[in-house]
Chains A and B, each alone.
Chain A
Amino acid sequence: GQNIDQPTEMTATEGAIVQINCTYQTSGFNGLFWYQQHAGEAPTFLSYNVLDGLEEKGRFSSFLSRSKGYSYLLLKELQMKDSASYLCAVSTDRGSTLGRLYFGRGTQLTVWP
């Protein structure tokens, strides 16, 4: 089976930096995604990593190590609006699992003033 693991909850202070980790064990790998989801709303795309290394996009960065089955999402200069659930998701090889994403349980981030 596919296993995606991330912490359930994290808290941080406005203006701080937080790192959300994700480890995965999947049969095949075709990319790792991070999504942000506010309560009762649809997930919105944050980042995509397919090669090892760091991808930076404004206040958000995502890192991938395929050999370790590990990724993290780094959020800088935290704002109150960053309070949300952050979903790590892995795409496995194409074929019978066309376009399928396996999601972790999500990390609920609470940002305090």
Chain B
Amino acid sequence: DTEVTQTPKHLVMGMTNKKSLKCEQHMGHRAMYWYKQKAKKPPELMFVYSYEKLSINESVPSRFSPECPNSSLLNLHLHALQPEDSALYLCASSQDQEFYGYTFGSGTRLTVV
């Protein structure tokens, strides 16, 4: 299995809703990432988990809450989002010992209404 699986593929949520994005990989990668990408912009790093511990938080607002329950799973909990948070949310993973780039998931297209 050489894939990173993200669910759901599309999500529409209201500003008062609570939802979660899910990311799963079974490649034994020990580093996992959340990126946010707006249209025609490059991906922007949000969070990095290394060995299931939060390693980097790029000053992301608290309405985004990451969670890494185990080495294969990464969640992003969403609460009280704003319309400007609408974007493509990408999960990625990489081997920790030698960094040869990411394997990206197919992304979740989030629309906040």
Number of interface residues of B (CB under 8 A): 25
* A62 proximal to B (CB < 8 A): no
Interface contact A42-B106, CB-CB below 8 Å: yes
* A29 proximal to B (CB < 8 A): no
Tally inter-chain residue pairs, CB-CB below 8 A. 62
Interface contact B101-A45, CB-CB below 8 Å: yes
Interface contact A105-B41, CB-CB below 8 Å: yes
What 0/1 pattern do residues 25 to 60 of A give for CB contact below 8 A with B? 000001101010000111111001000000000000
* B7 proximal to A (CB < 8 A): no
Say whether chain A's binding surface is mostly helix, strand, loop, or mixed.
loop
A42 touches which one: B48, B100, B107 (CB < 8 A)? B107
Interface contact B42-A30, CB-CB below 8 Å: no
* B45 proximal to A (CB < 8 A): yes
Q: Which residues of B contact A30 (CB under 8 A)?
A: 99
Interface contact A99-B33, CB-CB below 8 Å: yes
A108 vs B73: C-alpha distance in the bound complex, in angstroms? Answer: 32
* A101 proximal to B (CB < 8 A): yes
Number of interface residues of A (CB under 8 A): 25
A30 to B: closest C-beta gap in Å: 7
Please judge, given known A-B contacts A99-B33, A99-B48, whether A42 and B109 are in contact too, CB under 8 Å: no
Which partner residue on chain B sits nearest A8 by CB separation?
A: B40
What 0/1 pattern do residues 61 to 105 of A give for CB contact below 8 A with B? 000000000000000000000000001010100100111110111
Interface contact A98-B41, CB-CB below 8 Å: no
Please judge, given known A-B contacts A30-B99, A45-B101, A91-B99, whether A99 and B106 are in contact too, CB under 8 Å: no
Q: Which A residues fall within an 8 A CB radius of B?
A: 30-31, 33, 35, 40-45, 48, 87, 89, 91, 94, 97-101, 103-106, 108
